[in-house]
Structure 1
Amino acid sequence: MSLRYAYNTNGLTSHRLSDALTFLADCGYAGVALTLDVVHLDPFADDARRQAEQVRARCDELGLGVVVETGARFLLDPRAKHEPTFVTASAEGRARRLAYLRLACDLAEVLGAEAVSFWAGVPRPGVDRDEAWGWFVDGVRALVDSHGGRSYALAVEPEPGMLVEDCDGWARLAEAAPGIALALDTGHCVVAGAYAPEEAVTRFAPSLGTVAVEGMRRGVHDHLPLDEGDVDLPAVLRALREASFDRLVTLELSRDGHRAHEMVPRAMETLRKAEAAA
């Protein structure tokens, strides 16, 4: 089977969304990982639903699938990166995160998305980790109660340095909050956790809601081009094929928007070569 690749719009921030979608299709991508943000489908815009309908129509024309990503840096607070989260001390802040994720899920349904991906957040100094865990579980359960069991996978992504930073942390969450899939960023496996990227794919294959690939150096959480770093890309793609993974495999290069005109086609070329070698 051939894998289906997508590119994250957080690496296309100097492109209009309509231009980005056409560019991805022209380069052979099967989908787009759409990070809801101020530059691409701001979920808080008055006409967000209409925009989502237009994006859905354009993606249908181009043959692109969609994954919704919710990790925009300053969407909820222009002065604090990624805040507030489910592990923010303020109950009002946690409620804002839940409301945003519910809005993202509503837009995902309009977009016909395969998955909605989100993360735990970083407990700030002075926050008890056990208490933060309880907040996170409560928030995830509330989201599953209101938006689980729909046409998309609700998927939690382990992020190095966050409360849930590896696959074992996700497994603990899945026991406490049934109905959650795994958003596996394979590059993160060389930074945190007990599994090599390809091992994580195989071990957690039945739970995968969406998968990301990129280059990454061992112990350093920097997203790199696919042909750099310590991830064995052919091994990861082989594991995905052996698992019959048929959802989008996304690529996130959020710091490379200034050279997206080079990175988008380069990544597809690298993926095709790696899949041929897998």
Structure 2
Amino acid sequence: MTRSEAEPDHRGGLRWAYNTNGLSSHRLDDALELLADHGYAGVALTLDVAHHDPFAPELARRTAALADRLRGLGLGSVVETGARFLLDPRRKHHPTLVSADAADRARRVAFLRLCVDVAADLGSEAVSFWAGVLAPGLDRDEAWRQLLFGVAAVTEYARGRGVTVAVEPEPGMLVDDLDDWSALQAEIPDVALALDTGHCIVSGRWAPADAVRAFAPQLGAVAVEDMPRGVHDHRAPGEGDMDLGAVVSALRAVDHRGLVSLELSRDSHRADRLVPEAIATLRALEAP
């Protein structure tokens, strides 16, 4: 019997997941079965051209079928929204909530609302999204006002669908670090935190484990990976400067119950090795 045919067994520890942006050479169903067979508790589903394209026909039917498949494999989910060229095939991550053009910003809001619909129908734990890079020539204060407008619109819509929305601080974006997120959350209290612990050694004043402890009540989604200090480069465990053991210990100390996702978007070509190796490494770090 394969892992996917058995009852879920997450050993009472952290609930590890893997982001499908690191499985882009796999069909989605094959990727999900791979994760289940290696003992993952869930998937961070990046809606993209190859994996559950939200703009392809029959989205509701496909989402219902995917929800059944996830249940059958014993996998939870979070919905990720960082696809590179889904909205514009010529401009990476365009448009954003802080694009200069109002129609572009509205298009991003509409996309995020659609992601909320998918998350609601899947029973996902959260929808994670980021602010975007400040557009050239756009005043930061004006961009911040536009960001608040967009995040509030998505949050209000998600509230009506019973979905948690979590904003992720991304190095180089308008919400760059945890202090920026705190300023955002002060204006929009319903928004949760999507914490990528690797980003903490690139931007901001918070050490990764300290961030987990300080922001535990606000965590809506969590991602881990290795990363070189000061360089936004997602790497497999053991290939950067992260103290992953400290992060794992902090997550256990705060009794984090949500999924904890590995995001290795540049490593789809070796996912067959990284999927089993990464969870083995992380579970070893959990051992007393």
Determine if the TM-score, normalized by the shorter chain, exceeds 0.5: yes
Percent identity over paired residues: 61
2:206 to 171, 175, 195: 195
TM-superposition CA deviations, 1:224-264 (whole Å, max 9, x none): 00112111111111111111110000000001111110111
Q: Does 1:143 align with 2:154?
A: yes
Residue in 1 aligned with 2:58?
47
Tell me, yes or no, if the aligned pair for 2:167 and 2:194 is still in contact at 8 Å.
yes
Could you list the runs of 4 or more consecutive aligned residues of structure 1 that deviate by over 4 angstroms after TM superposition? none
- The SS at the match of 1:148 is helix
Report how many aligned residue pairs link the two structures.
277
Tell me, yes or no, if the aligned pair for 2:117 and 2:161 is still in contact at 8 Å.
no
Q: How does 1:203-242 map to 2 (within 5 A)?
A: 203-242=214-253
1:153 to 164, 168, 182: 164
Q: CA RMSD in A?
A: 1.0
Structure 1 150/204 Cα, relative in aligned 2: closer, same or farther at 3 Å? farther
Tell me, yes or no, if the aligned pair for 1:226 and 1:270 is still in contact at 8 Å.
yes
Q: Does 1:173 align with 2:184?
A: yes
Unaligned runs of 5+ in 1: none
Distance 1:26 1:235 in 2: 27
Distance 1:161 1:213 in 2: 19
Structure 1 232/85 Cα, relative in aligned 2: closer, same or farther at 3 Å? same
Residue in 2 aligned with 1:243?
254
Cα offset for 1:150?
4.3
Cα offset for 1:152?
3.1
Cα offset for 1:52?
1.1
Distance 1:88 1:186 in 2: 26
Distance 1:239 1:151 in 2: 28
Unaligned runs of 5+ in 2: 1-11
Q: Does 1:72 align with 2:83?
A: yes
Distance 2:153 2:233 in 1: 32
> TM-score by structure 1 length?
0.98
> TM-score by structure 2 length?
0.94
Q: Does 1:63 align with 2:74?
A: yes
Distance 1:275 1:148 in 2: 34
TM-superposition CA deviations, 1:118-138 (whole Å, max 9, x none): 000001221111111110001
Cα offset for 1:148?
2.1
Please say which of residues 228-237 and 88-97 is displaced more in the overlay: 228-237
Residue in 2 aligned with 1:31?
42
Tell me, yes or no, if the aligned pair for 1:149 and 1:179 is still in contact at 8 Å.
no
